[in-house]
Amino acid sequence: MTDKKELLKEDKETLISERQAKVKSSTLRVIGYLGLALAAPFFLWVPLGLTGLTPSMIDVFGVVGLRFPASVTISGLLLAAIGFHQI
């Protein structure tokens, strides 16, 4: 016969693991949206600059300075990939 305390302990451990999974899932989702928010401005700036609605990135940063917006965009997309992995 199983002890009721053992059953309660197992139920409590299951609830804790479910809560940890929900917290992990929501944290990863926030990281994903943060990555998208980080990448979106520079990602949208390229077509707007090509159409002439905004100054192009080359005008603002120069050819050598394009590494900065490119690195921010890639970092944001990598964060988004980590955040939205298996959600």
Residues found in the chain: 87
pLDDT band at 6 (very low <50, low <70, confident <90, very high): low
pLDDT of residue 21: 78
pLDDT of residue 12: 60
User: Could you read off the pLDDT of 31-84 as tens digits, one per residue?
Assistant: 999 999 999 998 899 889 889 899 988 889 999 999 999 999 999 999 999 999
pTM: 0.72
Q: DSSP secondary structure string, 10-39?
A: HHHHHHHHHHHHHHHHHHHHHHHHHHHHHH
Q: In the chain, where are the structural domains located?
A: 4-83
